[in-house]
A = this chain, B = another copy of it.
Amino acid sequence: MKNRNCIIRLSRYKTALYRLKALGFVKVFSDNLAEAIGVMPSQVRKDFSLFGISGKKRGGYHIDALIERLNEILGKDKVHTVIIVGCGHIGSALMKYRKFEDGGIKIAAGFDIDPAKHAQDADIPVFPIDRVKPFIKEHNVELAIIAVPDIAAQQVADMLISAGIKGILNFAPIRLRCPEGSIAHNINLELELENLIYFVNVLKKKRVNPDETENA
């Protein structure tokens, strides 16, 4: 099944491939990729076969061809424009996060309700929130990061979706509800720490099966 975890593994294979390539490798075997991301080799072959990727039994996969195919599947063969709504601590940090740019993700602008945060001439400008709808339409933006307080998040999401946003990465600690045709993924930092605390407590009490505590 092409579910979230499978797609996350594809991203991880891709990262591993770039590292192998940087080390001068030309070919790779499913065992190498499996070891690099911590799964069984059969999982790698299963994931690849879902997308019609096949290697040669003895020759393995060509790294360049595999990277190209994974980028195509993941939609990384073109640059994606993203806006950030809410330029507090987390939002501002994400605006400056260099790894996004390296990964073909362009943060086009930030939007905030607070005039003190506006910076219309900055490299990545920050505009008043009432500019967000025309901006989305004018630049055909489909992706947004929400980093506003939880109480405002659903309202902001509704507004963004009505203007054309299709995918939201949400840092507000609430679970957004999206109409059909749009999607939100949630990153809840407090919940992540809470989860870690639970598994540290389990570790302290007894040895656990590490598979149970692995991050997806």
Which residues from chain A sit less than 8 Å from chain B, CB to CB? 1-5, 7-8, 10-12, 15, 37-38, 73-76, 80, 82, 89-90, 92-94, 96-97, 99-100, 102-103, 105, 142-143, 145, 166-169, 173, 175, 180-204, 207, 210, 212-216
Number of copies: 2
| Interchain CB contact (< 8 A) of A195 among B97, B99, B184, B185 | B185
A94 contacts B200, C-beta separation under 8 Å: no
Residues of chain B with a CB closer than 8 A to A180's CB: 207, 210
The distance from the CB of A212 to the nearest CB of chain B, in whole angstroms, is 5
B191 contacts A203, C-beta separation under 8 Å: no
Residues of chain B with a CB closer than 8 A to A82's CB: 193
The distance from the CB of A206 to the nearest CB of chain B, in whole angstroms, is 11
A93 touching B89 in the complex, CB below 8 Å, given contacts A197-B75, A197-B80, A198-B75? yes
In the docked arrangement, what's the CA distance between A213 and B6, Å? 11
The distance from the CB of A16 to the nearest CB of chain B, in whole angstroms, is 9
B100 contacts A12, C-beta separation under 8 Å: no
Closest 7 CB pairs of A and B: A93-B93, A167-B200, A89-B93, A89-B96, A103-B190, A167-B196, A75-B201
A189 touching B80 in the complex, CB below 8 Å, given contacts A195-B8, A216-B216? no
Residues of chain B with a CB closer than 8 A to A89's CB: 92-93, 96-97
B191 contacts A185, C-beta separation under 8 Å: no
Residues of chain B with a CB closer than 8 A to A94's CB: 189
B4 contacts A173, C-beta separation under 8 Å: no
| Interchain CB contact (< 8 A) of A166 among B10, B184, B200, B214 | B200
| Interchain CB contact (< 8 A) of A183 among B73, B90, B203 | B203
Residues of chain B with a CB closer than 8 A to A182's CB: 203
Residues of chain B with a CB closer than 8 A to A5's CB: 216
